A and B are shown apart, each in its own frame.
Chain A
Amino acid sequence: MSAMDFDELLNLEEQYYQEGFKEGQEQNLENNFLEGKQFGLQVGFQRFVLLGHMLGLCDFLESLNMASTNLTKNIATIRELIEGIDMSNDEEEVENLEKTIVKLKNKFRTILLLFQRQMKQAKKKPLTFDDIEDLSRVIGGEIKGFVEDEETTDAKTAQDQAQDW
């Protein structure tokens, strides 16, 4: 066998190892980034679905023209609070968001009481904050079962909601 001395061989082994290592490391970083991104998508979605939900219901409630200054004022406050929320994931923002959500929920409950009072006159089963929050959590995959009224309890829905998240 021709000339390849021991040192040369060792160097070659090391070189090949380093080539492989670099490739593996790059693949690992890429995998990690994508794994994190997928998780970020999920958590971002879950954290904001209830906010949008409350805003959508505010739009609906305003369309009813319930002629209550209290209601108008509270809806304006809710819009303001939501507008002030940043959708990044900075530490400061996350802390802000938690505080804002508590305030928002309280404001929203007040609005809902006004609405419920009106609906009572119409002899309708009230739409409660729990109904709303539960729906948000089902959409966000945080709870699976959901019973709002009789027609949502069919088997098809239950099956769809049994997906693994």
Chain B
Amino acid sequence: MDNSMDDVWGSDSDIEIRKDDEEQLRSYDLRKLREIHAKRGYLDGIVSSKETNLQQGFNAGFPTGAQLGFQVGKIIGVLQGLKYKYGDEDEELKRDYELAKRELLISALLSKSIFTESFDLPNGHAAVDKWTDIVDKYSNKYNVIKN
């Protein structure tokens, strides 16, 4: 937000400073005037129509979230089943299951830092990809066929 505030009243190019003192004073006054009224406008603008666009944003994010949740569910489902059945004799599987339960929490996966500024994932999701590979490994080991 700081940057855009600068844009509003930090601009200076369109007011010509003349040699004449009076002109200089005038351009200073103009800048002041602009600062005051543009700021007033900005503040009114930023609280205007508060809810607009929330729904559009929601609809844009929902399918990506759904896809991620679905994938994560499949990962955790296979792991939970395998761990239940073979966990007693497969230490690595047991450990990975515990780790998955931590690394696949929504709070970790949807952390702001993983996304671009506009909340996109142009290169997929690293943690989900990693766990998909791990589950593939166990699926091969225990003959789980992915459908």
Contacts and interface: CB of A to CB of B under 8 A. Distances in A.
A36 B57 contact: yes
Interface string A51-91: 11111111111111000000000000001000000011100
Contacts of B41: 16-24
Taking chain A's interface residues, is the majority helix, strand, or loop, or is none over half, making it mixed? Answer: helix
Interface string B62-85: 111111111111111111111011
Q: Which of A4, A41, A156: most chain B Cβ within 10 A? A: A41
Contacts of A29: 49, 52-53
Given A12-B30, A25-B45, A165-B107, A47 B69 contact: yes
A20 B8 contact: yes
A12 B118 contact: no
B49 A28 contact: yes
Contacts of B69: 44-49, 52, 140
A48 B44 CA distance: 39
Contacts of A12: 30, 33-34
Contacts of A31: 46
A32 B56 CA distance: 9
Taking chain B's interface residues, is the majority helix, strand, or loop, or is none over half, making it mixed? Answer: helix
Given A23-B8, A57-B77, A28 B61 contact: no
Contacts of A58: 77, 147
B45 A53 contact: no
Contacts of B119: 34, 37-38, 41
Interface string B3-40: 01001110000000000001100100010011011111
A31 B44 CA distance: 15
Given A37-B60, A40-B57, A59 B145 contact: yes
Given A47-B66, A51-B70, A55-B73, A33 B38 contact: no
A136 B1 CA distance: 37
A26 to B, nearest CB: 8
B45 A44 contact: no
B105 A32 contact: no
A152 B8 contact: no
Interface in A86-101: 87-89
A22 B118 CA distance: 21
B42 to A, nearest CB: 4
Contacts of A37: 57-58, 60-61, 118-119
Interface of B: 1, 4, 7-9, 22-23, 26, 30, 33-34, 36-82, 84-85, 94, 98, 101-102, 104-107, 109-110, 112, 118-119, 139, 142-147
Q: Which 6 A-B pairs have the closest CB atoms?
A: A56-B77, A52-B73, A24-B45, A36-B57, A44-B65, A20-B41
Interface of A: 1-2, 4, 9, 12-14, 16-64, 79, 87-89, 124, 127, 131-132, 135-136, 138-141, 146, 151-152, 156-157, 160-161, 163-165
